[in-house]
Amino acid sequence: MGIIRRAVWKLQDRRAQILLPSVLLAPIFVLVIYLLFETAKVSMTKVRQQFALDNAAYSQVSAASTYLNAVAMVNGPLPYRVLLYYKDQKVNPTQTAQASGRQPISIFELFYHGGGIPVIGPDYDTGINKAPKAESVDWGLQYDPKNEEFSRNDWQKEQPREPNSDEWVPVMSKSLVNDYYFSALKYGTAVIHNYLETYVRTGSIYESQSYVYKEVSKNAIMFREAYYLNTNDCKKSDCARQSASQLRRFITLGTKPFELDKVRFYASDSGMSGEHGGANNLDLPMTEIIKSKLFQFAYLDPSSRSKLRTLGRGVVLKQPFKLPKNHFNINLEQKYKPYVRNTVILACPRNNNNCVWPNPLPKYTVTLDP
């Protein structure tokens, strides 16, 4: 009986009333802690995988935007800014032209009006313009629209028509050299050399950019490397295979250089005074002089234009991932099939998403949406 009384007394004790529920709730607290821990592991894994996908997609597509912007820049804006140096170097009209009211013009205009240089708008009379504003979404770059000696209209298309192999292409205005003193000895040799050097270097930049992009886009290597470096659950050789294969179809962008072999310059056969003998042809075969054709610009092939239209709308990337094991031995992957996704967009301010050629505009940007 004494034992029973003590037991009843203990149950009636306030401290016992607190202890008993605590003992009963202890397993529940432990279970809740385990659940929180396992939930945190799942959340951390998904956050890591989402970051890896976003970082990989942005890195790979940013390489494409850099390449396209570089090609757009060498497609006219770069050589235009270089050769604009000659805007302050004037040539005088001949006596006959002066009598008809002609004023001195720049050496730059001899090339511009002859189709040798495309210019940024809006002034297409002289071709001499200030740099476009930062917010401008149309630089209006084109060849002289009034050039009737050798029209570039067939060049300023998404699929430009290349000149015939036996056709000499002038890059200076014959009519202007007829009316102005452009001495081969005083001006011509140095100016022509600088013109050729500008486009040779521009072509070299294009080739370098094309080589680098081809390497970093091959098999979506930048995408897979970035994904691998931000996760620890995949092999380097085949990391993020599903999303990489989806993106790879659209980043294999190709451009084709538009080049000239037979280039024609003009020069006067007299100096600043005396009789003017008119414009004489200076025909230079590029493959003999510089051992290659002379680069003018590059344009997208039809397949790449189609891919860019799709990239402008956005490409959805979806990547399954593995979940860590849990203390409850529940296969969450089989039940929920976890994955991360995003939408990557590569676009420029043009409806057809072609800002490479014609009217190049180096303003491709990359956007990631959920």
Q: Say if residues 253 and 261 touch (Cβ distance below 8 Å).
A: no
Distance between CA atoms of residues 320 and 341, nearest Å: 9
Cβ-contact 343, 369 below 8 angstroms: yes
Q: For the chain, which ranges sit under pLDDT 70?
A: 1-42, 270-275, 326-334
Q: Which residues pair with 367 in a beta bridge?
A: 345
What pairs with residue 318 in β-bridges?
A: 341
Tokens representing residue 334 in the block: 């089989």
d(C-alpha 264, C-alpha 283), whole Å: 5
Please calculate the CA angle 223-228-230 and round it to the nearest 5 degrees: 100
| Phi then psi dihedrals of residue 119, to 5 deg | -125, 155
The pLDDT assigned to 99 comes to 86
pLDDT at 234: 82
pLDDT at 110: 96
Axis crossing angle, helix 14-74 with helix 221-229, rounded to the nearest 10: 160
Q: Give the pLDDT confidence of 312-356 residue by residue, as tens digits.
A: 999 999 999 887 776 656 666 667 789 999 999 999 999 999 999
Q: Is the pTM of this model over 0.75?
A: yes
User: What pLDDT is stored for residue 314 in this prediction?
Assistant: 97
Of the candidates 290, 304, 286, the residue with the CA atom closest to the CA atom of residue 71: 304
Quick one: how far is CA 238 from the chain centroid? 27
Structure tokens that stand for 11 in this block: 């149950």
Q: What pLDDT shows up at residue 273?
A: 53
Is residue 266 classed exposed, middle or buried when 0-12, 13-18 and 19+ CB atoms within 10 A define those classes?
buried
Beta-bridge mates of residue 215: none
